[in-house]
A and B are shown apart, each in its own frame.
Chain A
Amino acid sequence: MSVDSTGTAAPPPIVETFRGKHILVTGVTGFVGKVWLSMVLTELPQIRKFTLLARGRKGVGAKARFEEIAERSPALRPLRELYGSDFRQLLRDKVDVVDARLSADLCGLSEAEADALMADVDLVVHVAGLTDFEPDPPLAIEANLRGALNVAELAKRSAGKRMLHISTCFVAGRPSREVPESLEHGISPLGVKFDPRQELEELSADMASLATVRARTDHAMARGQRLGWPNIYTYTKGLAEHLLLMTPELRVSILRPAIVECARSFPMLGWNEGINTSGPLVWLLGTTFCRFPSRATNHFDVVPVDTVARGMILAAAELLRDEGREIYHVASGQRNPLTFGRAVELTALAWRRIHGRKQATTFESLVLRHLEARPVEADGDRLLDVNTVRRIARSVRSLLKGRDATTALPERMRADLGDSLNKRMKSASMKARNLDRQLGRVDDMLRTYRPFIHDHDWIYETTALPAATARLSEDERARFGFDVDDIDWRSYWLDVQVPGLEMWCIPILKGDSVPEDEPLPFNAVGRIAARAKSDEPTDESKRGPSACPEAADGPRPQRSVSA
């Protein structure tokens, strides 16, 4: 019998745990889901099948939508490079896409369809969710609560009766504290005893009775805050955790990532998608806004997306072995903390680099480069804080709006200067209005983020995934191990995070587009095919550590691809 580094009996290797398994996944069109799917297909080709529950969009069916993502998303680039033209065959062999609506009973499937589909499924991984902090509450209830419960109903019909649910560390809610890696059933973050089912029913009933989005949002916020959840996102995700763990006949593990950020190596260095949590904040710090409302000593709990994907593989493996825990934290704050003070300084230094480039404008290189952000108390009244600048902008606007400059000019100058002065005043008034609106959006954003960047400080106990890592062989530890301890925050922030956001997120904030991969040509040769044709070993050293599937498991499954 082999033993692990803790001296206890070592579990079977992860590759063996996943061998021949059929996994149903939701949320693969999202940031984390895509990376996880790509990593599992790349690293664990022993898996038998994935069934993806997805929704079509804009007249495109779920299957076509997924195929487009698979063909063009950089998240699946390692897989496309690995398989070349066999990539499409891989998808045909290993991936089924089912059009589903998670908010409907049985996710929109009929009883017969659900039974037929689930009879063969070993594990359900539920990644889908709505991550907006303050959406219209019924949307969050549908996505984060009803969706999770409907997926759990499907999971109960599966052969394995196992479900891995992806939540968030921030369900910890108020107050600041060290958050244990566990859940007290029916106890809210503020320590209030409550009935999760009743809470859901009452919340749903209240929402049905309120007519406006504002009223629904305010009411749901108030309900959530009464229990200790600072916004609708954490409220609905937190409630879902309680409800899922109450589901009978189902083994549920909940994985709670902290703030998910740019990849360290998989699918590629710096990859990110969409407008995530820190993207707008980082962008803001590169502008003239240089007072960042946060507490310098508070923890900024960031984890790279590939670390989250590794954590999902570890948790899924334990669940498949029926050794799953209730809660897994994927967080850095306890083991390798990054504070807001340090993150703000590193962001300022990263912008300094960007604004020092040759292609930077004069304003960027002479002004922005030296206007460095710093953390400040949120409620102080300072020069250049958002509210002060907004007040100035409004004053300028009210001073200029509707005024006729010609009345202030001596009569002999009116004909020459009047029109041009009026035009300038109108333009300045518009600029002041736009500035006020932009800063209004910034203010809203900072208010939304305030509980997480200023008011509260959490340290998440993180022992489950390190313990799972300690039980791996050395080779599997390198491929799947929980790796937050290795993060050098300076290097990560300067060389991965900010450049990653600059490429994948900030253009979206500016209204631009981000690059997509070209669709695969039909005669593309993947690394597998290339290797099969040649005895020459490929240069593995150029690939990231995660993109090294053959290292421990012999040749890749060419048979299943080319069959």
Chain B
Amino acid sequence: MQQAAFFRVEGTLLDRPALAAAAWLAGNARGLGGRALRLGNVAFAAPLSLASSLASGATATRVTWMGLRGMTEDRVEVLAEEYYDEYVQDDLMDVGRRLLDRARKDGRRIVLLSDNIEQIAGRLAEALEADDLICNRLEISRGKATGRLEEPVVGSHLAGQWARGFAKENDIDLDLSWAYGAHAGDSLLLSAIGKPCVVDPDFRLRRIARDNDWPVVER
């Protein structure tokens, strides 16, 4: 059985949340009216994302990407490439890069988990030579985004059950694997993996880490 290193991309490798990507894409839709409408939609998702008390983070993630409804696949691809070039590729967190390099050096399988859509996260995974990428996929029909995400929706709710299923499918020893997260929502994932580690955590995850005696890596 092999060991893996699970990275929650937003927070450990990237400073910007997926909401920022969704807002940027919405703000570059065709036509001023379209932009305003889509940005309004994404703005509506912002408080949902912050409300960690929600039973399922999937709702916030769904609402976040709903703003792309009706956008052509061509536009999503081009804008995602532009967003990646401008805000992602040269903006990776050093601490995350170091952890990732070490995990690779130790022979661990690199698994990235991202709330971002495939068009952005895929480019990152390719650049980082990750072994696996779990991210959101926009549902496309007749060349346009429907505004829905394909199942499974990836968000902070992604937890132990998913990790166990993934480990079984890929012959991974979860007890000896590592997981890296930065937000309170990531705690579900972290607690399901043998060796959790928090990276520059927010206030609530820092408290959880202290309670559970998880190592904390600062920037």
Contact = CB atoms under 8 A, between A and B. Distances in A.
Contacts of A353: 78, 82
Given A342-B72, A342-B143, A348 B77 contact: no
B31 A372 contact: yes
A374 B31 contact: yes
Nearest to B86: A356
A476 interface: no
Interface in B65-81: 72, 74-75, 77-78
Contacts, number: 23
Nearest to A348: B30
A372 B75 CA distance: 12
Contact of A349 (B31, B75, B143): B75
Interface residues of B, number: 9
Contacts of A345: 30, 72, 74-75
A372 B35 CA distance: 12
**At the interface, is chain A mostly helix, strand, loop or mixed?**
helix
| B31, B74, B143 pick with most chain A CB within 10 angstroms | B74
For chain A, give the interface size range.
10 to 19
A490 interface: yes
Contacts of B31: 372, 374
B29 to A, nearest CB: 9
A346 interface: yes
Contact of B74 (A356, A372, A490): A490
Interface in A19-72: none
Given A349-B75, A490-B74, A490-B77, A372 B30 contact: yes
A352 interface: yes
B78 A352 contact: yes
Contacts of B75: 345, 349
A342 B72 CA distance: 9
A365 to B, nearest CB: 13
A389 B31 CA distance: 20
Nearest to B32: A370
Contacts of B72: 342, 345
Contacts of B30: 345, 348, 372, 374
Nearest to B85: A356
A346 B31 CA distance: 15
A494 interface: yes
Nearest to A493: B74
Interface string A342-385: 10011011001100100000000000000010100000000000
Contacts of B77: 490
B34 to A, nearest CB: 10
A494 B73 CA distance: 14
Contacts of A356: 82
B82 A346 contact: no
Interface string B20-47: 0000000000110000000000000000
Interface of B: 30-31, 72, 74-75, 77-78, 82, 143
8 contacts: A345-B72, A346-B74, A348-B30, A349-B78, A356-B82, A372-B31, A374-B30, A374-B31
The 7 closest A-B pairs by CB, nearest first: A349-B78, A372-B30, A490-B74, A346-B74, A345-B72, A345-B74, A349-B75
